[in-house]
Amino acid sequence: MIAGLSVFFSGPGQTYSISIFIDYYIEDFEYSRSLVSGIYSAATLLAGITLFMMGRLIDRFGQRTMMVAIGSCLALALFWNAFLLGPIMMFLGFFMIRLFGQGSMTLIPNTLVPQWFIRKRGRALSIMAIGGFASSALLPPLNTWLIESFGWRATWGLWGSALLILFVPLTLFFVRNKPEHIGEVPDGTPKPVKGEEMKNPNVEVNEKSWTLKEAMATKAFWFLLFCVTVPALVNTAITFHMVSIMDLRGLDTGVAAMVLTLMAVVGFPVTFVSGYLVDRFKVHYILAITFFGHIFTLVILLFTNSWWMAVAFGMFWGFVNGFERIVLNIVWPNYFGREHLGSIKGLAQTVMVVGSALGPLPFGLFFDWLGGYQEVILLTILFPVTAGILALLSPQPEYEDYHA
């Protein structure tokens, strides 16, 4: 439950939330779209480069301590954003909410849940994903209403207060790092009676844990890193400029918020299907199918020029997101084990945040140069095509092949 809540409260640092603020920033500060996009991309890139240290800190101090610390830091970052005065403060504000929000508040729960579940890992991650979809469904329209009612500065302050009042105390009281720390085992597998042999030994007995260095020696690790980058790049670029994309098609901010909400509503039940499938089929096949779904979604976006096409885009986008949220999180513990998951997932999260940094700026530049997004969307399709091929070439590596 707390892992899902952590993903929910990563929302203020996620692009689907920040995108609602962008046009207000452009209007109030009189900045160009490419300038704000550049500040956002640079700040996100720096956050991504810094994020790899969080994985090592998780391995050292545990999820409970880090979740309390990061939740508090994110709250302070949101208060900072309430007092923006210029581009330097905007850069630092974006940097902090991307590092602590989009990066760390999703990294920690995605290393916590795999510690508690092995056989049921896919289904457990599906339940955790409820927090993410609830956040992406609620925050765009809620932010729109809050900003229109109270202003964007007060909206940042309200989210910071919610973190300190709700999330941080709940984390302190209810989170435990591993089942072994409280005398339990993953999946809740019954422990044997003393003197009796366990008839159904837990999977962790046979689970091989790779170090980061060992994982980096495999081809699959590098292919998967590229695969992680693509959804972050594509989804962030589209989400960041969603209001502008819809505006060019004659659709208002309400439609843009509706698309983001619809994506989350559709994606929510899909996560349970994907969680069921990844517990039963090879992950890299499901990952490849997900990327081919990305291609189809981008094609729909190219032809979106009405409310009904926007609905179709939101639905297909949600379907794809429902799969990728589970597959991209489960592949790391499934391939490389639990022991060094913080370091391995931390590097993957770093690459993901860097990918999200690279997305918005090209879209902003193409808009300023050509007055639209059609050309950059066409170029973007090349990324999921490449990722789909690499996913097919990335079966789970055999531990013995690299440890002879």
Long-range residue pairs from 25-29, CB within 8 A, at least 24 positions apart, any chain: 25/84, 25/90, 25/152, 28/152, 29/86, 29/87, 29/90
Q: Which two tokens stand for residue 152?
A: 């964007």
Q: Kindly state the average pLDDT of the residues 49-78.
A: 87
8 Å CB contact between 279 and 121: yes
pLDDT digits (tens, 9 = 90+) for 77-87: 999 999 988 88
Q: What is the mean pLDDT of residues 185-192?
A: 60
316-347 pLDDT tens trace: 988 898 888 788 878 888 888 877 777 888 78
Instruction: Note the CATH number of domain 208-399.
Output: 1.20.1250.20
- In this prediction, residues 269-295 reach a mean pLDDT of 85
Is 153 a residue whose pLDDT tops 90?
yes
pLDDT of 193:
46
226-243 pLDDT tens trace: 998 898 888 888 887 888
Domain 1-182 and domain 208-399, same fold? Reply is yes
Q: Are 93 and 46 in contact (CB under 8 A)?
A: no
Q: Kindly give the residue spans of alpha helices, DSSP state H, lying in 175-252.
A: 212-216, 219-240, 242-248
Most confident of the following: 58-72, 145-159, 346-360: 145-159
In angstroms, the Cα distances linking 403 to 208, 215, 222, 332, 399 are 11, 11, 19, 19, 6
pLDDT the model gives residue 196: 43
**280: CB partners within 8 A, 6+ apart:** none
| Secondary structure of 202-213 in HEC code, one letter for each residue | CHHHCCCCCCHH
Mean pLDDT, rounded, for 118-140? 79
Is the pLDDT reported for residue 197 higher than 60? no
Judged against a pLDDT cut of 50, whether residue 175 lies above it is answered with yes
Q: Kindly list the domain boundaries of the chain, sorted by start residue.
A: 1-182, 208-399
pLDDT of residue 200 exceeding 50, the answer is no
pTM: 0.69
CB 116 within 8 A of CB 178: yes
* Secondary structure of residue 62 in the 3-state scheme: coil
Q: Which of 10-19, 178-187, 351-360, 392-401 has the lowest mean pLDDT?
A: 178-187
pLDDT at 402 over 90: no
pLDDT per position as a tens digit, 21-56:
888 888 888 888 778 888 888 888 888 888 778 878
Residue 182 reports pLDDT greater than 90: no
Q: Is the dihedral of CA 131, 136, 139, 141 positive or negative?
A: negative
The pLDDT value given to residue 404: 60
Rounded mean pLDDT of the chain? 83
CA angle in degrees (0–180, nearest 5) for 162-168-174: 130
Question: How many whole angstroms separate alpha carbon 20 and alpha carbon 27?
Answer: 12
Architecture in CATH for domain 1-182? Up-down Bundle (1.20)
